[in-house]
Structure 1
Amino acid sequence: MKRRAFLRTGGAAGFAAVSGPTVASRSRGAATGHQRGYEPLGRLPITGAAEAVVGDGSETAYVAATTGFATVDVSDPAEPTLLAEKRDLELAGESLTQILDVAVDGDRLAVVGPANPNFAVNGFRLYDVSDPANPVPTGEFETSYHIHNCYLEGDLLFVVANEQGANPLVIFDVGGGEITQLGYWSLLEREPGWGEVGMLARYLHDVYVQDDIAYLAHWNPGTYLIDVSDPTEPTYVSHVRDTTLEEQRSIADWREAAYGLPGNDHYAAVDETGDLMAVGREAWTTGGAAPNRPGGIDLYDVSDPTEPIHRGSIHAPRTVDETYQSGLWTTAHNFELHGGRLYSAWYRAGVQIHDVSDPANPDRLAWWRDPAETGFWTARVAARGEYFVAPSTEAIPGTDLEGALYTFPAEAGEQADPPSLRDPDWLAADEGTNATNGTGGDSGDGAGDGSDGGGGSDAGGDSIPGFTASAGLAGGALALEWLRRRGGNVQD
């Protein structure tokens, strides 16, 4: 099975190569999170970078760029090299913009957008990338809805299709001369009660597909496992969730429902075996009920996909102002499971590697961060696990971060005092518990019944020095623009 390969970004064109030693030699200071012996391998500045991914076992990264995309040769991780960039894309005679996600499988690339509503045109374009230095367009399709994320599996393109009245998964056949819609699956057809909460609170944010199961991160309704072996008739398998419909109905402030825990299932993925699922919950403090903290990553045993069982949790690092508006984001974003490791990005809290071979006791192996200069979007394995790529994004408002694609060692190497990473130069002395195995959450059928599942304790993460309230106010990142665009009333 091919693995997830998708991109998002914001900003204008502009690329320049910078060698690995330039990054590794950057001075350490109170605002940095560098480990002795663990540093980036290389860095390629990319104006507007956000999401970057690498095809299965490949040494080519695909980077979305709002008005297009770029391809990058990462075969030498110390010197990532720009191969091609395609800008100013059109669809049905209109500009296809706010491209925050692409998907690649083999020689086919899908470019989808816009990520948020209220643009002139919506849909996707397909490219032949058998020569990554010369992507060739092969087809396009216009939709009536914006496309926040997608997944490409062979001849099938899975897209999230969010509108006011529904939030379905839609499946397209893109393998022939004509693009056709095959089928779809709708949360609201299965559980109509979720139609009583606002669109943002039930938003279908992302989709991941492996071994004929689609994993749908459906924000507060939870993460749904859907059998797509027959793409014309997808069927429900199971779900996990951290909250209930009744709890969501009782929340008076839509911002608490959209921004705060519990809930906020943002991204889900499984390992090569399909036995371990990770669910990232992107959230901030809202002043509401506990847990009132940034969202982390929960680990589930899905060896029996009909009965997911929560095994452990990785909490987000902490900082001085954990609200959405502060721009000091340390919540979980995107990640990849590979070879018993979890490679993850936490915005300004950097990138981490965890050993999750025992998911009940995830062990952090490496952590690198520089919150004054970087805000990481994702972590994607390259060259069959030899290293990983991680883009730093400019899309955190109120900051002066520069977009860039970083490469990192897949192994931790020599470190100082692992795994606590205690270093008085940059780590606050008030270090908390990073990984815990807790109770709570719910996994089961559509009514929410079933075995106890996800969610760890509220003891949360390591503090990040160098973050102060003066670091800037955020009105919203490109990837979450839909939250701000739908401002004032979640029902809009």
Structure 2
Amino acid sequence: MRLASLGAVAALVGLGFTAPAQAAAVIPGVDEIVSSPNIRQIANVPKTGAFAPESALNSDLAFQGKYAYAGNYNGFTVYDVSNPAAPQAITQLVCPGGQNDLSIYGNLLFTATDSVRNNDSCSSVAVPNSEPETVPRWEGIRIWDISDPRNPQYVKSVHTTCGSHTLTLVPGKGKEKKKAVYVYVSSYNTSSSSLPNCALPHDKISIVKVPLKKPAEAAIAATPVLFEDGGFPGDSNSTATSGCHDITAYPEKDLAAGACMGDGVLFDISNPVAPKVVTTVRDAENFAFWHSATFNNNATKIVFTDELGGGGGATCNPTIGPDKGADAVYDIKGKGKKAKLVFQSYFKIPRENASTENCVAHNGSLIPVPGRDIIVQAWYQGGISVWDFTDSKKPKEIAYWERGPLSNERLIVGGAWSAYWYNGHIYSNDIQKGFDVLKIDDRRLGKAAKKKSWQINPQTQTSYSKW
């Protein structure tokens, strides 16, 4: 590390020291690791086999017990993380299909396919859009039985319009709570041309009902149109709304937050098969693409992310500035149908990245610190940032960790796709470098380091208020 040694700053960290931002002009060397003094890497498992190529991007994470499930464009890996300092890959399942965004419910694993395939099998091949519409096509979600994490079994696929870029789980309500789970399938079309299986307008989501005892009977239960007015029409700065990129559900609050391309959305999900738009917000000046969302624990705030440049551009630099490609913190004012989203502030990592580094706000989760709003978040090659938004108007970073660029010669898409808190550690799936485990030592996190098995799917939030 370039900063002072851990021993020299340990006392400051224990007192709640906030590490200074790295000087804007100082960019780490290729593969060099830099961080604030209160966070460190304790493990890395490189990509291997079919997941090793540069084109095989690591993606999202989900957790269950002592296992972490890590998506990759070519399938998924299961890690035993019972010893966070020495995670072991116990299964690598090859099944190509877009992002393979994933979530877990009980013994079921759900993966998202946003790549047009010639069938739903793991031996399928991609079908170019140029192929005639008569050519068989499939994209949507796959369901797996993970009763034995070392040997996942393919149960069922469900075809959905425009595929499944991401997916979100919402448990059934009332009598259905133990009988079914619903899968909110987010997908979109950024093209004005006619695409097979994804014609415009696409102002809806697909909702798949999965009977827990008979998951092979999973089927589409509803395809509600969310934007009857067509949503944001788009302009020179912001993407038009034609579906949602990601939805984060908070079932115990009957709420969901949608990042829907040109719109930030608050939903009422008291009826899981009929989500209702409560209110929407737009930011045509600074938000290019509403990408994801995270509630605070009390569901009084939402952090929305903007994926400027589609995640493939160098946007963490003085030319782009501090507001574009940033997070936006909104307070939820009012209750029920009268609730509104009120903008409070932007947050962007206070470090400059190289022109060969893709860097923008990406996936993160809360750290369970009662009484405070603290989030850990991935920023692609901007690394991993831990920041506090307890004061909505004055968010501040309290820790960071990052690698230097993958190359000084060309931009290689890489960096932390997702960074989540689980069982006292930060787990990250790096697009190129593999599976990372970090440990943060900061007294502001209180008892969070001792919290066990809190959140399985970051896109299906659960409360830690009673902890």
TM-score range, shorter chain: 0.5 to 0.7
2:62, 2:70 within 8 Å by CA — same for their partners in 1? no
Deviations 1:78-98 (CA, angstroms, capped at 9, x unpaired): 1111121211x3xxxxxx522
Q: Deviation of residue 303 (structure 1)? A: 6.3
Secondary structure of the corresponding residue to residue 233 of structure 1:
coil
Point out the structure with the larger strand share: 2
Give runs of aligned pairs for residues 217-366 of structure 1, distance below 5 A.
217-220=259-262, 222-243=263-284, 261-284=286-309, 294-302=324-332, 304=334, 306-317=339-350, 319=352, 326-339=355-368, 340-366=373-399
Cα-to-partner distance string for 1:427-483 (whole Å, 9 max, x where unaligned): xxxxxxxxxxxxxxxxxxxxxxxxxxxxxxxxxxxxxxxxxxxxxxxxxxxxxxxxx
1:382-397 → structure 2 map (5 Å cutoff)? 382-383=422-423, 386-394=424-432
Mapped partners of 2:350, 2:438: distance in 1: 20
Contact 2:39 2:440 in 1 (8 A): no
User: 1:29 deviation in Å?
Assistant: 6.3
**Distance verdict in 2 for CA 1:286–1:50, change over 3 Å:** closer
Q: TM-score, length-normalised on structure 1?
A: 0.63
**Mapped contact 1:51–1:101 kept (Cα < 8 A):** yes
Alignment of 1:468-483 (within 5 A): none
Pair 1:38–1:188, CA change in 2 (3 A): closer
The letter for the 2-side match of 1:125 is R
CA distance 1:106–1:330, change in 2 (3 Å): same
What CA deviation, in whole Å up to 9, does each residue of 1:324-344 have, x standing for no partner?
Answer: xx5422211111123231101
* 2:464 alignment partner in structure 1: none
Which segment is superposed worse, 233-242 or 137-146? 137-146
Q: Match of 1:111?
A: 111
Percentage identity across aligned positions? Answer: 21
Q: Alpha-carbon deviations, 1:38-91, whole Å to 9, x = none?
A: 3111111123452232337x432111122321111122111111121211x3xx
How much does 1:37 deviate? 5.0
Q: Return the offset for 1:280.
A: 0.7
Instruction: State the match for 1:60 in structure 2.
Output: 67
Equivalent residue for 2:151? 134
Seen in structure 2, the aligned counterparts of structure 1 residues 388 and 193 have a Cα distance that, compared at 3 Å, is closer
Aligned residues: CA RMSD: 3.2
Residue number among 183, 188, 201 corresponding to 1:157 in the alignment: 183
Q: Quick one: which amino acid aligns to residue 138 of structure 1?
A: V
Aligned residues: 346
Relative to 1, partners in 2 of residues 1:68 and 1:330: Cα closer, same or farther, differing over 3 Å? closer
- TM-superposed deviation, 1:369: 0.8
Q: Give SS of 1:40's match.
A: strand
The 8 Å contact of residues 277 and 301 in structure 1, kept in 2 or not, is answered as yes
The Cα of 1:266 is off from its aligned counterpart by 0.8
What is the rounded CA distance, in whole Å, between the counterparts of 2:333 and 2:367 in structure 1? 16
Q: Distance in 2 between matches of 1:33 and 1:147?
A: 36
Give, as a single letter, the amino acid of the residue that structure 2 aligns with 1:61: A
SS in 1 for 2:292: strand
Decide whether the 8 Å contact of 1:183 with 1:231 is kept in 2: no
SS in structure 2 opposite 1:380? strand
- Structure 2 stretches of 5 or more lacking a match? 1-26, 118-125, 128-136, 172-180, 189-197, 310-314, 407-413, 445-467
Q: 1:116 Cα deviation (Å)? A: 7.1
SS at match of 2:240: helix
Residues 42 and 408, structure 1, Cα contact 8 Å, conserved in 2: yes
